[in-house]
């Protein structure tokens, strides 16, 4: 009996400490939940899918097709978005440069004659890009970071931070949309972005995307994009508290 009483006396202080520690840690847990709940979303009040927990830079909870629901493929999708955004930023800068200085139509650059034949240039590009991409992918698979020439991540100027990573993603996404717009202008109107801007400024009511040959299609796309958040909220309202299982893409 004395031994049992001694055991209880010894264990009670430890129980008390454990309880006090748990209670003291609860405010921190509430604070972290509150911060995560208040992170910026792609529209006010949106609920992010379970696989988008805010841990990635530039995550605003936007994945209506649940493309990133496969956690094994999500890192590849993020790397693909990052690389496409970087190429788009380079392309948009080049297009604006050639258009501003009237160096010719950017979409006809491949038809020009250069010092080397086009077939030779293409062969050199394929070999060089294949080697560089193979090294980049190998380094990314080992480190989880994109890089260049053995540096993963590639940051020779020490500019890497959470803020700059988000800015790069935002600018990359805008550049991809801009390149899509430049391509549409070239296909529909046969004009570059600077020339299209000048035309729009001269007569904005008649020279715009809605009065172009694809005006009805663009109007329908704008209406659909504007109504999408409403449809999402209605869907969530009908679902109630059930966990969202919408997976249009099975993989």
Check the CA dihedral 199-201-207-210 and report its sign: positive
Give the residue ranges of the annotated binding site.
Answer: 81, 86, 116, 122, 167-168, 171, 173, 185, 200
- Residues 83 and 146 sit within 8 Å (Cβ to Cβ): yes
Alpha carbon distance 243, 251 (integer Å): 19
Phi, psi of 208 (to 5 degrees): -150, 175
- Binding site for chlorophyll a, by residue number, is 81, 116, 167, 171, 173, 200
Work out the angle between the directed axes of helices 162-189 and 74-100 (0-180°, nearest 10).
60
What sign has the CA pseudo-torsion 155, 161, 165, 167?
A: negative
Binding site residue list for chlorophyll b:
86, 122, 168, 185
């Amino acid at each position: 009996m004395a031994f049992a009483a001694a055991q209880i006396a010894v264990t009670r202080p430890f129980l008390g400490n454990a309880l006090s520690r748990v209670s003291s840690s609860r405010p921190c847990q509430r604070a972290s939940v509150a911060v995560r709940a208040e992170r910026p979303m792609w529209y006010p009040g949106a609920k992010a899918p379970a696989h988008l927990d805010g841990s990635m830079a530039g995550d605003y909870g936007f994945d209506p097709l649940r493309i990133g629901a496969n956690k094994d493929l999500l890192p590849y999708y993020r790397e693909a978005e990052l690389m496409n955004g970087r190429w788009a930023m380079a392309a948009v800068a080049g297009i604006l440069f050639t258009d501003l200085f009237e160096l010719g139509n950017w979409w006809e650059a491949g038809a020009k004659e250069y010092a080397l034949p086009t077939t030779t240039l293409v062969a050199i590009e394929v070999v060089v890009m294949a080697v560089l991409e193979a090294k980049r992918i190998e380094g990314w698979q080992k480190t989880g970071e994109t890089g260049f020439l053995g540096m993963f991540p590639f940051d020779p100027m020490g500019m890497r931070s959470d803020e700059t990573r988000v800015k790069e993603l935002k600018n990359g996404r805008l550049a991809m949309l801009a390149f899509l717009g430049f391509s549409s202008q070239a296909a529909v109107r046969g004009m570059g972005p600077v020339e299209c801007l000048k035309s729009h400024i001269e007569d904005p009511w008649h020279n715009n995307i809605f009065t172009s040959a694809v005006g009805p299609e663009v109007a329908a796309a704008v209406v659909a994009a504007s109504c999408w958040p409403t449809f999402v909220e209605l869907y969530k309202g009908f679902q109630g508290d059930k966990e969202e299982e919408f997976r249009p893409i099975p993989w």
